[in-house]
Chains A and B, each alone.
Chain A
Amino acid sequence: MNIFRFAGDMTHLISVLVLLLKIYATKSCSGISLKTQELYALVFLARYLDLFTDFISVYNTVMKIVFIMSSLSIVWCMRMHPMVRRSYDKELDTFRHYFLIAGCLLGALLVHEKFTFQEIFWAFSLYLEAVAILPQLVLLQRSGNVDNLTGQYVFFLGAYRALYILNWIYRYFTEKHFGRWISCISGLVQTALYGDFFYYYFISWKNNAKLQLPA
């Protein structure tokens, strides 16, 4: 465990907590893409298949359970909670995310470490996580003004993977056998997708203005 990775995990945890706070405190999920939340639930379920088979550390197991439970509860809230579901921007959240799932599944069948069930689902989860933010970014551009908590949610979500890239660089130089190009490339693509969001987020922070994404 290195500081980059720990900071990355904490930033990821903060992003989830910010989202839970927004939904719980405002009883609203306006500006949040249900499709992105569903993709993230899928990412965690596909990646943590080894939750009960490989024990790595208490930290690892606890964090996996937290991510799975939180992503499923957010999806449940947005679909079933009577107050929250009313504020879902159904007509704006129209990204066809099933194509993302199909594409990533195909990609995992073609490009993986080993042709085993667990490895293919692991590669699938990495590819899917790289693109999972797309419905959310599209929704933000469509809904124009972004409320603070939603903006912070997306910011921390992007920052976590950027920190993971520093972690992979660090591990590449400190661990002889470390070389995981599937994670690294997916992580680079994922962080790049946040590029323009980070730019407008920084501008709004510098001007102390409301975050406005160009339509």
Chain B
Amino acid sequence: NNNNTVKDEL
């Protein structure tokens, strides 16, 4: 799901 995608960004 898209929730974790950006959380991997700083």
Contact = CB atoms under 8 A, between A and B. Distances in A.
Majority secondary structure, B binding face: loop
A177 B5 CA distance: 8
Contacts of A171: 5
A167 B8 CA distance: 13
B7 A9 contact: no
A179 B1 CA distance: 10
Interface residues of B, number: 9
B10 A63 contact: yes
Contacts of B7: 50, 54, 56, 122
Contacts, number: 31
Nearest to A67: B10
Given A64-B10, A177-B2, 18 more contacts: A9-B10, A12-B10, A50-B7, A54-B7, A56-B8, A57-B8, A63-B10, A67-B10, A122-B7, A171-B5, A175-B5, A177-B1, A178-B2, A178-B6, A179-B2, A180-B2, A180-B5, A183-B9
Interface of A: 5, 9, 12, 50, 54, 56-57, 60, 63-64, 67, 113, 122, 164, 167, 171, 175, 177-180, 183
Nearest to A50: B7
B2 to A, nearest CB: 4
A193 B3 CA distance: 27
A36 B6 CA distance: 24
A175 B6 CA distance: 11
Nearest to A175: B5
20 contacts: A5-B9, A9-B10, A12-B10, A50-B7, A54-B7, A56-B7, A63-B10, A64-B10, A67-B10, A113-B3, A122-B7, A164-B9, A171-B5, A177-B5, A178-B2, A178-B5, A178-B6, A179-B2, A180-B6, A183-B9
